[in-house]
Chains A and B, each alone.
Chain A
Amino acid sequence: AQSVTQLGSHVSVSEGALVLLRCNYSSSVPPYLFWYVQYPNQGLQLLLKYTSAATLVKGINGFEAEFKKSETSFHLTKPSAHMSDAAEYFCAVSDPGNNDMRFGAGTRLTVKP
Chain B
Amino acid sequence: DAEITQSPRHKITETGRQVTLACHQTWNHNNMFWYRQDLGHGLRLIHYSYGVQDTNKGEVSDGYSVSRSNTEDLPLTLESAASSQTSVYFCASSESRGRLQETQYFGPGTRLLVL
Which residues of A line the B interface, CB within 8 A? 4, 6, 9, 32, 34, 36, 41-46, 49, 51, 90, 92, 94-96, 99-106
- Closest A residue to B108 using CB positions: A43
Considering only CB atoms, which chain B residue lies closest to A6 in the complex? Answer: B42
Residues of chain B contacted by A6 (CB below 8 angstroms): 42
Please give, as numbers and ranges, the residues of chain A lying within 8 Å of B45 by CB-CB distance: 100-102
A105:B103 contact, CB within 8 angstroms: no
A interface majority secondary structure: strand
Interface centre among A44, A104, A105 (most CB of B within 10 A): A44
Give the A-binding residues of B (Cβ under 8 A). Answer: 33, 35, 40-45, 48, 56, 58-59, 90, 92, 98, 100-101, 103-104, 106-109
* Contact partner, A46, options B59, B104, B109, Cβ 8 Å: B104
In the complex, number of A-B residue pairs with CB atoms less than 8 Å apart:
60
Residue contact A49 to B101, C-beta cutoff 8 Å: yes
Judge whether B106 and A105 touch: CB under 8 Å: no
Knowing A45-B106, A96-B100 touch, does A105 contact B41 (C-beta < 8 A)? yes
- Whether the Cβ atoms of B58 and A90 lie closer than 8 Å is no
The answer to whether B48 touches A43, judged by C-beta atoms less than 8 angstroms apart, is: no
Distance of A30 Cα from B3 Cα, bound (Å): 31
How many Å from the CB of A19 to the closest CB on chain B?
19
Smallest distance from the beta carbon of B71 to chain A beta carbons, Å? 19
Q: Contact partner of B100 among A41, A43, A99, A106, CB < 8 A?
A: A99
Contact B109 A100 (CB under 8 A): no
